[in-house]
Structure 1
Amino acid sequence: MRRSVDGAFREFAEGRAGQLFRSACLLTSGDVHLAEDLVQETLGKMYVVWGRPAVRGGNPAAYAQTVLVRTFLAHQRRRSSRERPSGDLPEGVAAGAGDASLRLTLLDALRRLPPKDRAVVVLRYWEDRSVEETADALHLSSGAVRTRSSRALARLREQLGGSIGEFAAL
C-alpha cells in the first residue's frame, strides 16, 4: 500500500515541481534559491498529507499551490526574510536585451509589493486563478482579493510608469 502511495506522490511531484518553482520564483521576486527552498518545503508538506483522501481525491495541484503560497507568506513573516546580501548587481554583469530586461524590471517591481499583494498578483494573473480560488488560498474574502489586486496593479503601474513601454517594444 505504502509503495503505491509513494509512487503516486513521486509522479505528482515530478509533474508539478516545475510549475511550483515558476510560481515560487514570482512570489520571491526572482530569488531562485528561496524559490527552490519553498518548493522543497511545499513538497515535503504535501508528502505528509498525501495519503488523505481529500488531498488525492480532490485537486492536489491546487492544494500544492495553496501550500506554496502559505509557506511563502509564513517565510515573509520571519524577520530574517528581509535580509539581502546585496542590493546591486556588480558592474561586470551585462544585462541581457529585450526579454531579460523586461523580466528583471517586472521582478523588481513585484519585489516592492507587500507579500500578500504579491501573492494575490501571482495567483490571479500568473496562475490565472479566479477571485474565489485566490481568496480561499489566502484565507481572504473575495472583496479583499479584489481590493488587493486593484491596489497592487495600481502600484505596479506607478512603479513601472512609462518605462514598461520601452521594454515591451523590444
Structure 2
Amino acid sequence: MKQVLNMIAASALLTAAVYAADVDVTSNITTDTTWTSDNVYHLSGFITVNGAALTIEPGTVIKAAAGTGTDATALIVSQTATINAVGFASAPIIFTAEGDPMDGSWGPDEGSTWGGLIILGNAPLNSDRNKESWAEGATITDTVEGIPTFYRNLRESLEARIPKTTRVR
C-alpha cells in the first residue's frame, strides 16, 4: 500500500511540473504577491515592487526578457517593499534569461543578457560621492541612473530583503 501511495504522489508531482503555467509579469507589483513554484514567471521591462511584499516559493523559476540599458528587464525591489525569497539547496529560486534552456548548458559567456535583481535598500553607503557634505547621522538619498526609484542610507537591518539560496544568472 505504501508503494502505491508513493507512486501516486510521485505521479502527481511530475504531472504538476509538466503542466506548470507560464505567467507574464508586465506591470509593477503594488500589493502583497506570492510567486509559486508551480509556475514559471516571465518578466518584461522594469518591474518594480513598491509598497508590497513579494514572496517567492522555493523552486520557483523567473525568466527575464533579454535587453540592455533602458531596454533591460529587471526586478527592482524599492525601499518601501520587501522580498521574501528563501530557496533550498534541493529547490533553489532561479532568476535567469528567457534564452536559458535550464539544462545546465549555459556558461559564464551567456550572462549579462538582462538587467538583474536590484534591491534598493536603506543601508549605509560605501561611496565617496559628496562625502565632504555628509554630516554624522545624515540621511543621503540618491538615484541609480535609468532606474525609476531611489535608495538611501538610513538603517542597516535588512534581513527580510536578502534572498537566500537564490541563483541570479
TM-score, L = length of structure 2: 0.25
TM-score, L = length of structure 1: 0.25
Identify which of structures 1 and 2 has the higher relative contact order when contacts are C-alpha pairs closer than 8 Å and 6+ apart: 1
Question: Higher helix share goes to which structure?
Answer: 1
Question: Higher strand share goes to which structure?
Answer: 2
